Chain A
Amino acid sequence: MRDAFVNQLTVLAENDQDVMFITGDLGFGVFDKFAERFPKQYLNVGVAEQNMTSVAAGLALEGKKVFTYSIANFVTLRCLEQIRNDAAYHDANITIVASGGGFTYGSLGMSHHATEDLSILRALPNVIAVAPCTAWETTYATEQLCYTSGVGYLRIEKGGDKNPPADGSAYQLGKAIKVREGGDITLITIGGILSEVKKAAEQLAEQGISARVVSMHTIKPIDRVAITSAVVDTGAIVTVEEHSIVGGLGGAVAEVLMTENLHAVCGLIGMQDQYSTVVGDQQYLRGYYQLDAPAIVAKARSVVDLKKSR
């Protein structure tokens, strides 16, 4: 996903000299070529995320289209008030790029685990919050956020499929993508953990359960139509996120169900309301915290059983 972001950023900078990239002294080696090619569009502000965000707001209010970049918690939580007051309240065109969503930096410890960012960022008005599920989605999200007014939040991870989910697939911010069709249950997910959800859907199919898989890459504004269809067509929903269960994708979907008065049997896969205390690679931690394919299969089965019993 990071390569997809850097490649698209380069295309944007090439075509528009108002596109600027600011890093808080992170991304060793990743942006060297960009900095060399676009010296007036690249800025390393040092390890100073509050000032980075304020400077970005100042630049954006003068017409720049600014990307700020750091590790997920640093570029969000450290400078949250700057995002709220300086950027979002002023309609500043800034895209906050968070490297290392969820447990991407698994072995580095809780300071580097981004497990509350989506709920916190989506609570802010005038913020579009996106966590692409694939590298393919990242490319389009980067471009569209650059040309959308207000603040964008782009949470990226390592890896992710470079190909579209199907031939002719189109990407649009705020519009969910149906990755797999199914009629018994809908698995709605966000971020790179889509790969586990796809695995889970295959295993469920082997067990006779037909699961729809939806990439809800944009958590805000959330695609209410896709959620409504999931309820109408399947009557059962499990949300899957590499993120806290407090206020994240599960919460966002539940808000739609309540405001639209929709009724479905539901389940929620995510990090419980806790800080991580063990380390390991991303896949290990997905297993440890019960977010991986076996956990998703178990939850989906129980939800489908509950649906049948009603």
Chain B
Amino acid sequence: MSEKNTVDLAHKIRCHTVDMTYLGGSSHIGSILSIADIMAVLYGQVLKYDCNEPKWPERDRFILSKGHAGAAVYATLAECGFFDVERLKTHYQNGSTLSGHVSHKGIPGVEFSTGSLGHGLGVATGMALAAKLDDKTHRVYTLLSDGECNEGSNWEAILFAPHHKLDNLTVVVDHNKLQSIKSTDETLSLAPFAEKWAAFGWDVIEVDGHDHSQIKAAFDKLSSAPGKPKVIIAHTTKGKGVSFMENSVLWHYRSPQGEEYQAAKKELMGED
């Protein structure tokens, strides 16, 4: 896909997920919009995959560790041909397999189910180690939230990956600086965040998490030294793309309904 396509893909992800959270009455639209651009670049330009063969052994692995933004994964996979976009309408509905937190059961293309924070990185690390042991060339990617980095299990994995020289592992942190109740600074400060990762032995790249060329360049950048895993700290805006949702902690849980939904869709469709 070209850069233009990733912009288009990100737009579609935003539109689908606002619809999904509206129809399902579900939460986390702020967290979902925050990662729409990262997801678009990943699936538009970075990951190797075959939508007709989701378990293709040579595919790159992607795990959404911040599982509450699962609607973004479903929307991306549908747009990338893994399943019919119509199925997105079942999200959060009675009897649906498209759960609020991302699940792999019966959904082609979902590598791993999450929902409890602090799991994805460890599993991705195991997958990256397996690839190294078996001389496989695919890469492993995982996307974390910044609030998720409160979880101690992540720091076990952050120690582990450089120790085992897993330079086939790329972590993206969606650093929107808002958690579920307050800011990351007010909750449990991560600062100095980039320095912490660097001190643990990671290659750290900081980008504007909504600038597709910056995101793409960060994914493409080679390791500064063999054996170093990479972390891309993506500075993002929670709720990006819908002005009244941006940087508002309210939209971690609130579902867009009524006039709010109409206003969000109008803005996304450029009708303002």
User: In chain A, what residue has the closest Cβ to B134?
Assistant: A62
**Lowest 10 A-B CB distances belong to which pairs?**
A58-B126, A54-B122, A62-B130, A51-B156, A55-B126, A48-B156, A58-B127, A50-B153, A58-B123, A59-B126
Hey, which chain B residues are within 8 Å of A56, CB to CB?
A: 126
Distance between B67 CB and nearest chain A CB, rounded to angstroms: 10
- The contact string, 1 if C-beta is below 8 Å from chain B, for chain A 88-104, is 01100000000000000
Q: Is B128 part of the binding interface, using a Cβ–Cβ cutoff of 8 Å?
A: yes
**Cβ of B117 to closest chain A Cβ, rounded Å:** 10
Q: Which of A48, A55, A57, A85 contacts B116 (CB 8 A)?
A: A85
B20 at interface by CB-CB < 8 Å: no
A89 vs B105: C-alpha distance when bound (angstroms): 9
Interface positions of B (Cβ within 8 A of A): 104, 112-116, 118-119, 121-131, 133-134, 152-153, 156-157, 159-160
Question: Which chain B positions have C-beta within 8 A of A57?
Answer: 122-123, 126
How many Å lie between the Cα of A279 and that of B119 in the bound state? 36
Pick the contact of A59: B113, B114, B129 (CB < 8 A): B129
Q: Would B127 and A54 count as touching, CB distance under 8 A?
A: no
Q: Report the minimal beta-carbon distance from B62 to chain A, rounded to whole angstroms.
A: 13
Question: 8 Å CB contacts to B: which residues of A35-76?
Answer: 40, 45-46, 48, 50-51, 53-64
Say what secondary structure dominates the interface of chain B. Answer: helix
Given A81-B116, A85-B115, A85-B116, A50–B126 Cβ distance below 8 Å?
A: no
Q: Bound complex: CA of A81 vs CA of B131, how far in Å?
A: 25
Residue on B with the closest CB to A41? B133
A161 within 8 A of B: no
Query: Is A86 an interface position by the 8 A CB rule?
Result: yes
Q: Closest A residue to B112 by CB, please name it.
A: A90
Min CB–CB distance A198 → chain B (angstroms)? 42
The answer to whether the Cβ of A115 comes within 8 Å of any Cβ in the partner chain is: no
Q: When the two chains form their complex, are residues B130 and A59 in contact, meaning their CB atoms are under 8 A apart? A: yes
A82 within 8 A of B: yes
- A60–B133 alpha-carbon span in the complex (Å): 13
28 contacts between A and B (CB under 8 A): A40-B133, A45-B160, A46-B159, A46-B160, A48-B160, A50-B118, A51-B156, A51-B157, A54-B123, A54-B125, A54-B153, A54-B157, A55-B126, A58-B126, A61-B112, A61-B126, A61-B127, A62-B130, A64-B130, A81-B119, A82-B153, A85-B113, A85-B114, A85-B115, A85-B116, A86-B122, A89-B113, A90-B113
> Which of B114, B121, B160: most chain A Cβ within 10 A?
B160
Most interface-central of B123, B124, B127, B156 (chain A CB within 10 A)? B123
In the complex the two chains form, is B122's CB within 8 Å of A51's CB?
yes
Given contacts A58-B123, A85-B115, could you give 14 more A-B pairs where the C-beta distance is less than 8 Å? A40-B133, A48-B156, A48-B160, A50-B118, A51-B122, A51-B125, A54-B126, A55-B123, A55-B129, A58-B126, A61-B123, A63-B130, A82-B122, A86-B123
A89 to chain B, nearest CB (A): 6
**Residues in A whose Cβ lies below 8 Å from that of B129:** 55, 58-59
